[in-house]
Amino acid sequence: MYNVAIVGGGPAGIFAALEITKLKPDWKVILVEKGVQIEKRKCLLREGYEKCPTCKKCGLLCGWGGAGAFSDGKLTLTPDVGGHLLDYMPRKSVEELVKYTDDTYLKFGATDEVFGTDKEVFADIERAATLAELKLVHSPVRHLGTERSLDVLKNMQDYLTQKITILYDTIADKLIVENGCVKGFITQDNQKIEAEHIIIAPGREGADWLTHEFSKNKIGMVNNAVDVGVRVELPAPVFEPITDKLYESKLIYHSPTFGDEVRTFCMNPYGEVVTENYSGISTVNGHSYGNKEFRTQNTNFALLVSEKFTEPFKEPIAYGQHVARLANMLAGGVLVQRFGDLLDGRRSTPERIKSSIITPTLSCATPGDLSLVLPYRQMTAIIEMLYALDKIAPGTASRYTLLYGIEVKFYSGRVKLTNDLETEGVKNLYAIGDGAGVTRGLIQASASGVHAARIICSK
Ligand SMILES: Cc1cc2nc3c(=O)[nH]c(=O)nc-3n(C[C@H](O)[C@H](O)[C@H](O)COP(=O)(O)OP(=O)(O)OC[C@H]3O[C@@H](n4cnc5c(N)ncnc54)[C@H](O)[C@@H]3O)c2cc1C
């Protein structure tokens, strides 16, 4: 019998464990992780495979560190970005949590440098953005880079290995709930884990499982918006005047045609586009290295369109998967198209890509036609956003700009939670991080773990 059992060894689960061991050093804590230790994690694509082999457990997403392990390690230091924690507590509390979480990353080896703190520089870029009808969100960023993220998470793994029980290669399967109170869970290999409090932190990778298990136990879900879009890749000099100063610019636009919100997301100067695999579906993402030696010539970022659906629609995750599957169906994986080809109504071909001024960093992407994949509404919003961005970063709407599809965020369903992040309906069961739909980034995912841990320890 444990005091606390945690499902998922991503940033949310890790920070919950760190906080509990700090506040209650005598408590028995267990963390169950589907993947392996961080030093054993492997992504065959990163090691030179041409196509994503769609491993049963995606090496990019599963294992100690979760999706954070090979992430770009951008710690966004504001409550306004990367999640919905402001819906659960006052701004001051979220600010305190963000600061505390950032300090913990620093303690475990994060880099000192923070981008975007110079107010005058920000004001200049904000002015240019306003003239282009774009809203620039103030979001200072500490950039770890992929290699430093791995080091920091490894330090946390080494620290926690001494303090708690960690089961790797173990998948939580069925929750045990009695009289409205959680008692534990059964793993896929039939181990029964019993604990007074359970924290579920399975990330986007486990969002499907969470939705299924929670609905079985009559825990409500609220539909989040569905975020679907593309990853844009262009020559780094196009965005240098902005990325050199802010590193990442969070820009929001409302498409004139449909009024939908489009935003930039996860900007990676001199980075690489990567593919990730959610239960056999290939989607896109991006990252960059802190070490200048590994820099590429390109910058990439996502353009995501937020769609809010109305009743009776209840399946935002399935919707996102469906659109991504279409790209996979046409391209056998990720699809790439030049912006000019999209506008000309023709598919990109290997020859056309070759004759461009940009070399795709995701070489396994198949040239094709995104207009056969993305709904007209989202496609229109993306095209309009590219033209708006072109006003502050000339060259964005170049015919050579590459668009990879599909980027989709499966944080769509949000669990109905109290302000303590405890589920409404089942006592002592907490849901945190991206999988619960509460967060969508490293800092808030980690902060949600700290918050749940503090609540549990205070009970
Ligand atoms: C390539 C890439 C780049 C990114 N770059 C950034 C960035 O620069 N900045 C930023 O803020 N965010 C970034 N992100 C997003 C960030 O990584 C996530 O927001 C964050 O990791 C979410 O944390 P989490 O703990 O909620 O979930 P995850 O990190 O997804 O961890 C969940 C863990 O739970 C495990 N799991 C799932 N189901 C089960 C189960 N049933 N039983 C046991 N274990 C289970 C999974 O294996 C996984 O290890 C990036 C993501 C990717 C993929």
Give me the DSSP letters along 8-61.
Answer: --SHHHHHHHHHHHHH-TTS-EEEE-SS--GGG---TTTTT-SS----SS-TTT
Residue 31 region by backbone torsions, left for phi larger than 0, else alpha for psi between -120 and 50, else beta: beta
Closest Cα to atom 17 of ligand 1: 68
* Residue 402: band (very low, low, confident or very high) from pLDDT cuts 50, 70, 90: very high
What residue spans of 47-144 are helical by DSSP H? 91-107, 119-131
Q: What is the pTM of this model?
A: 0.86
Is the pLDDT score of 146 beyond 90?
Answer: no
- What are the tokens at 157? 């793994």
pLDDT for 313: 79
* Residue 309: band (very low, low, confident or very high) from pLDDT cuts 50, 70, 90: confident
Domain spans of the chain, in order of start: 2-115+141-222+415-458, 225-409
Question: What is the rounded average pLDDT of the residues 311-318?
Answer: 78
pLDDT for 315: 79
Closest Cα to atom 15 of ligand 1: 441
Is the pLDDT score of 225 beyond 80?
Answer: no
Which residues, other chains included, contact 164 with Cβ-Cβ below 8 Å and sequence gap of 6+? 17, 21, 29, 30, 31
Is the pLDDT score of 224 beyond 80?
Answer: no
Question: What is the rounded average pLDDT of the residues 14-21?
Answer: 98
Is the pLDDT score of 259 beyond 70?
Answer: yes
Distance between CA 136 and CA 252 in Å, rounded? 7
* Residue 252: band (very low, low, confident or very high) from pLDDT cuts 50, 70, 90: very high
What is the DSSP secondary structure assignment for residue 446, as one 8-state letter?
H
Is the pLDDT score of 143 beyond 90?
Answer: no
| CATH superfamily, domain at 2-115+141-222+415-458 | FAD/NAD(P)-binding domain (3.50.50.60)
SS3 269: coil
* Cα 253 to ligand 1 centre (Å): 27
Is the pLDDT score of 412 beyond 60?
Answer: no
* Cα 154 to ligand 1 centre (Å): 15
* Mutation to probe ligand 1, out of 185, 301, 434, 450 (largest number of atoms < 8 A from CB): 434
Contact of 411 with 207, CB cutoff 8 Å: yes
Question: What is the rounded average pLDDT of the residues 125-147?
Answer: 93
Contact of 168 with 8, CB cutoff 8 Å: no
Closest Cα to atom 49 of ligand 1: 66
Average pLDDT, the chain: 93
* Cα 152 to ligand 1 centre (Å): 15
pLDDT for 256: 97
* Cα 93 to ligand 1 centre (Å): 23
For 93, how many CA atoms within 13 A lie in the half-sphere containing its CB? 13
pLDDT for 409: 80
pLDDT for 49: 78
Residues across the chain: 459
Distance between CA 322 and CA 276 in Å, rounded? 16
* Cα 322 to ligand 1 centre (Å): 21
Tens of pLDDT, residue by residue over 424-455, are 989 999 999 999 999 999 999 999 999 999 99
pLDDT for 410: 67
For 47, counting Cβ atoms within 10 Å of its Cβ (0-12 exposed, 13-18 middle, 19+ buried), the class is exposed
Ligand 1 neighbours by CB, cut-off 6 Å = 7-13, 32-35, 61-63, 66-68, 70-74, 76, 82, 171-172, 201-206, 209, 266, 274, 276, 285, 287, 433-435, 440-442, 445
Task: For tokens 């990676």, name the residue.
Answer: 268
What residue spans of 332-413 are helical by DSSP H? 339-344, 350-354, 376-392
- Ligand 1: nearest atom to the Cα of 443: 11
Tens of pLDDT, residue by residue over 85-100, are 999 999 999 999 999 9
Cβ neighbours, 10 Å, residue 39: 10
Q: Please provide residue 48's backbone torsions phi and psi, each rounded to the nearest 5 degrees.
A: 110, -5
Distance between CA 188 and CA 171 in Å, rounded? 6
Which residues, other chains included, contact 199 with Cβ-Cβ below 8 Å and sequence gap of 6+? 4, 5, 6, 7, 13, 16, 430, 431, 432, 449, 452, 453, 456
What whole-number percentage of the chain has pLDDT above 90? 80
Closest Cα to atom 52 of ligand 1: 71
pLDDT for 318: 85
pLDDT for 268: 94
- What are the tokens at 81? 């970005």
Distance between CA 436 and CA 305 in Å, rounded? 20
Tens of pLDDT, residue by residue over 329-340, are 999 999 999 999
| H helix or E strand, kind and range, residue 267 | strand 261-268
* Cα 121 to ligand 1 centre (Å): 32
* Residue 198: band (very low, low, confident or very high) from pLDDT cuts 50, 70, 90: very high
Is the pLDDT score of 411 beyond 70?
Answer: no
Is the pLDDT score of 106 beyond 70?
Answer: yes
* Cα 204 to ligand 1 centre (Å): 7
* Residue 279: band (very low, low, confident or very high) from pLDDT cuts 50, 70, 90: confident
pLDDT for 296: 95
Is the pLDDT score of 419 beyond 60?
Answer: yes
Distance of CA 403 to the CA centre of its chain: 19
Q: Mind spelling out the 3-state secondary structure of 196-225?
A: EEEEECCCHHHHHHHHHHHHHCCCCEEECC
Question: What is the rounded average pLDDT of the residues 303-322?
Answer: 83
Low-confidence winner among 45-49, 116-120, 281-285 (lowest mean pLDDT): 45-49
Distance between CA 281 and CA 327 in Å, rounded? 10
Residue 129's nearest CA partner among 387, 382, 392, 385 is 392
Contact of 423 with 452, CB cutoff 8 Å: no
Distance between CA 108 and CA 226 in Å, rounded? 34
Is the pLDDT score of 58 beyond 80?
Answer: yes
Question: What is the rounded average pLDDT of the residues 114-134?
Answer: 95
